[in-house]
Amino acid sequence: MVWCILDLIMNTKVYKKKGKLIIEVPLKTKRSNPYDEDYGPEMDNIIGLIQSDMEMGLCFRIDMEYKGKPDQWTDYFYKYNGDIEEFEALCTKLKIDIAYNLKED
Domain boundaries, the chain: 27-100
27 DSSP assignment = S
pLDDT tens-digit series, residues 5-41: 445 556 788 889 999 998 888 899 888 887 888 888 8
pTM value is 0.81
Contact of 98 with 50, CB cutoff 8 Å: yes
Q: Is 53 exposed, middle or buried (0-12, 13-18, 19+ CB in 10 A)?
A: exposed
pLDDT of residue 7: 55
Whether 25 contacts 47, CB under 8 Å:
no
